[in-house]
């Protein structure tokens, strides 16, 4: 295989793809989106979206990637030369810039909270203090810019060195340790006084809160969390060996990712309700409530330090996978060197990211945009994280089902898989359910 591209070893795909999937999407984005969309009813829609939409799309992306051995643009061009389908890949590459730009801001917050935990700032703090300290932290413009820069530089350094080896090793250690800490947090949160109310908010659907906005948020969250809709899994699929089984790998990835998101909810909501905090408080939820939770745990500073360190690493394995999409394109199609490509794209993402970094108090303009009346980061998260990923996944599904054709995709999926018993359900979902649902939801949302 091409030196500049690299490839995964056996198990490497599961580890790297799980590393891509598990990140801030699970621990930061999922809980605050649940909070903003009425709790249980959103969770129900989210689980449905995972099963009938996201998993089929994951398999479609991974098989297209492995079949073509290419970046997203190259993959579309190879299956349908001379068409305008590669534009879908281009949309994905634009998405990568945009998502990286705000994702790295939040990743910077996790690094800063790691430092806060290590320096013992999570002792004896109540909800008001936590909220106030978060507010003054995010309105410190210089600090926000430095944190963003630091995170992007680290991502660029790792991607410059080639993806395969590093992430695999990282994920192997990261996942079990992260899981261990999450279990401890879960126990602490569920045993707080008043935890039950949070569990009810989280699990009991209140159908009066149902709306198109809830459904699009749920589908968007499913795509975001599993790194779908912009070609990450096409790119990672392109590094997978023909000996690996795609269906079982994809099943494991979906399982891990969903499991961790669900755990995050069981940690955040009981803690929020027991502290009398508001579940619908936007993107700061996790940073407001976890310090309080840690300060109520014996050894809280130690667990807090570990937690934010691991979350920073989980975020890193995700930013790597986002940056890898445009980088693999420049390497394959433009014959750039890996290093040059990573540095250029990282720099552009930093510049766009400035708007998000200043949008939580740093700049009053970016914190409350005219017309939209929300902050830049929230707007970007909605446009690129929900709408653009949904459009991308829709076009990918149509491409795989009707241009590449399901029977050819199935042939690719079966390579390396002992058996793929779900041929019929998968074909049905990718041909009809995925496109029809996404189209209906998008239309409903915009009307
Ligand atoms: N899925 C990652 C998370 O949950 C973020 C991510 C990585 C992503 N690659 C992506 C999101 C591609 C959308 C598209 O944190």
Which CATH number characterizes residue 39's domain? 1.10.4160.10
Q: How far is the CA of 414 from the centre of ligand 1 (A)?
A: 26
Asked, for residue 4, whether it belongs to a domain, the answer is no
Domain count, the chain: 1
Q: Note the pLDDT of residue 137.
A: 97
Which atom of ligand 1 has the smallest separation from the CA of 223?
13
User: Which residue has a Cα nearest atom 9 of ligand 1?
Assistant: 227
Among candidate residues 93, 23, 94, 100, the one with its CA nearest the CA of residue 351: 100
Instruction: Output b/e per residue, 390-416; b: 16+ Cβ within 10 A.
Output: bbbbbbbbbbbbeebebeebbebbbbb
Which atom of ligand 1 has the smallest separation from the CA of 321?
9
Residues with Cβ < 8 Å from 306, sequence gap 6 or more? 177, 181
Asked, for residue 149, whether it belongs to a domain, the answer is yes
Asked, for residue 103, whether it belongs to a domain, the answer is yes
Asked, for residue 238, whether it belongs to a domain, the answer is yes
- Say yes or no: CB of residue 413 within 6 Å of ligand 1: no
Judge contact between 279 and 273, C-beta under 8 A. Answer: yes
Asked, for residue 5, whether it belongs to a domain, the answer is no
Residue to probe by mutation, ligand 1, list 17, 22, 23, most atoms within 8 Å of CB? 23
Burial class (CB in 10 A: 0-12, 13-18, 19+), 248: middle
CA distance 372 to 167: 38
CA distance 157 to 422: 40
Judge contact between 265 and 34, C-beta under 8 A. Answer: yes
Among candidate residues 233, 259, 235, the one with its CA nearest the CA of residue 341: 235
Q: How far is the CA of 14 from the centre of ligand 1 (A)?
A: 15
Q: Note the pLDDT of residue 369.
A: 95
- Say yes or no: CB of residue 121 within 6 Å of ligand 1: no
Among candidate residues 29, 97, 149, the one with its CA nearest the CA of residue 324: 97
CA distance 413 to 418: 10
CA distance 94 to 87: 10
Q: Tokens at residue 420, please? A: 């793929």
The range of the structural domain enclosing residue 333 comes to 10-446
Q: Note the pLDDT of residue 175.
A: 80
Which atom of ligand 1 has the smallest separation from the CA of 21?
1
Asked, for residue 3, whether it belongs to a domain, the answer is no
Q: How far is the CA of 128 from the centre of ligand 1 (A)?
A: 31
Classify residue 49 as left (phi > 0), alpha (psi -120 to 50) or beta.
alpha
Among candidate residues 383, 322, 313, the one with its CA nearest the CA of residue 97: 322
Full pLDDT tens readout for the chain, 447 residues: 455 666 776 677 888 888 899 999 999 999 999 999 999 999 999 999 999 999 999 999 999 999 999 999 999 999 999 999 999 999 999 999 999 999 999 999 999 999 999 999 988 899 999 999 999 999 999 999 999 999 999 999 988 887 656 666 677 778 888 889 999 999 999 999 999 999 999 999 999 999 989 999 999 999 999 999 999 999 989 888 888 899 999 999 999 999 999 999 999 999 999 999 999 988 999 999 999 999 988 888 999 999 999 999 999 989 999 999 999 899 988 999 999 999 999 999 999 999 999 999 999 999 999 999 999 999 999 999 999 999 999 999 999 999 999 999 999 999 988 788 899 999 999 999 999 999 999 998 888
Residue to probe by mutation, ligand 1, list 16, 30, 225, most atoms within 8 Å of CB? 225
Residue to probe by mutation, ligand 1, list 50, 92, 99, 219, most atoms within 8 Å of CB? 99
The set of long-range contacts for 2-7, using a CB threshold of 8 Å and a minimum separation of 24, is: 4/162, 4/331, 4/337, 4/338, 5/238, 5/239, 5/328, 5/331, 5/332, 6/162, 6/163, 6/164, 6/165, 6/239, 7/164, 7/239, 7/240, 7/241
Alpha carbon 273 to its chain centroid, in Å, reads 26
Asked, for residue 428, whether it belongs to a domain, the answer is yes
Classify residue 361 as left (phi > 0), alpha (psi -120 to 50) or beta.
left
- Say yes or no: CB of residue 294 within 6 Å of ligand 1: no
Prediction pTM value: 0.95
Asked, for residue 142, whether it belongs to a domain, the answer is yes
Q: How far is the CA of 227 from the centre of ligand 1 (A)?
A: 4
DSSP string, 221-246: HHHHHTT-SSSHHHHHHTT--TTS-H
Q: Note the pLDDT of residue 386.
A: 93
């Amino acid at each position: 295989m091409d030196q500049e591209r690299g490839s995964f070893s056996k198990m490497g795909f599961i580890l790297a793809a799980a590393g891509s999937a598990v990140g801030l999407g699970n621990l930061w984005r999922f809980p605050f989106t649940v909070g903003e969309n009425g709790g249980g009813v959103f969770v129900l829609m989210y689980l449905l979206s995972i099963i009938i939409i996201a998993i089929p799309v994951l398999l479609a992306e991974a098989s297209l990637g492995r079949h073509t051995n290419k970046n997203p643009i190259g993959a579309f061009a190879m299956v349908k030369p001379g068409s305008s389908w590669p534009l879908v890949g281009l949309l994905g590459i634009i998405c990568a810039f945009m998502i990286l730009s705000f994702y790295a801001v939040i990743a910077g917050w996790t690094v800063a909270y790691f430092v806060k935990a290590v320096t013992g700032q999570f002792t004896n703090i109540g909800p008001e203090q936590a909220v106030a300290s978060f507010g003054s932290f995010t309105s410190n413009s210089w600090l926000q810019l430095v944190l963003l820069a630091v995170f992007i530089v680290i991502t660029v350094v790792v991607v410059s060195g080639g993806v395969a080896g590093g992430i695999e090793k990282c994920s192997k250690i990261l996942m079990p340790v992260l899981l261990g800490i999450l279990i401890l947090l879960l126990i602490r949160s569920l045993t707080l006084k008043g935890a039950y109310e949070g569990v009810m908010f989280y699990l009991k659907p209140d159908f009066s809160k149902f709306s198109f906005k809830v459904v699009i948020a749920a589908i968007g969250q499913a795509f975001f969390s599993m790194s779908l809709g912009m070609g990450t899994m096409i790119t990672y699929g392109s590094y997978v060996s023909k000996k690996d089984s795609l269906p079982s790998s994809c099943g494991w990835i979906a399982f891990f990712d969903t499991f961790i998101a669900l755990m995050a909810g069981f940690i955040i909501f009981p803690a929020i309700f027991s502290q009398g905090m508001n579940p619908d408080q936007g993107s700061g939820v996790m940073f407001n409530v976890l310090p309080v939770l840690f300060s109520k745990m014996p050894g809280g500073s130690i667990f807090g330090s570990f937690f934010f360190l691991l979350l920073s690493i989980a975020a890193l394995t995700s930013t790597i996978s986002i940056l890898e999409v445009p980088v693999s394109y420049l390497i394959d199609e433009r014959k750039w060197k890996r290093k040059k490509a990573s540095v250029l794209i990282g720099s552009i993402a930093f510049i766009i990211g400035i708007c998000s970094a200043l949008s939580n108090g740093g700049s009053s303009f970016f914190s409350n945009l005219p017309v939209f009346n929300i902050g830049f980061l929230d707007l970007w998260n909605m446009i690129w994280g929900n709408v653009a990923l949904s459009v991308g996944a829709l076009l990918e599904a149509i491409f795989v089902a009707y241009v590449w054709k399901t029977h050819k995709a199935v042939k690719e999926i079966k390579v390396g898989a002992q058996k793929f018993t779900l041929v019929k359900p998968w074909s049905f979902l990718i041909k009809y359910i995925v496109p029809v649902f996404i189209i209906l939801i998008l239309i409903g949302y915009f009307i």
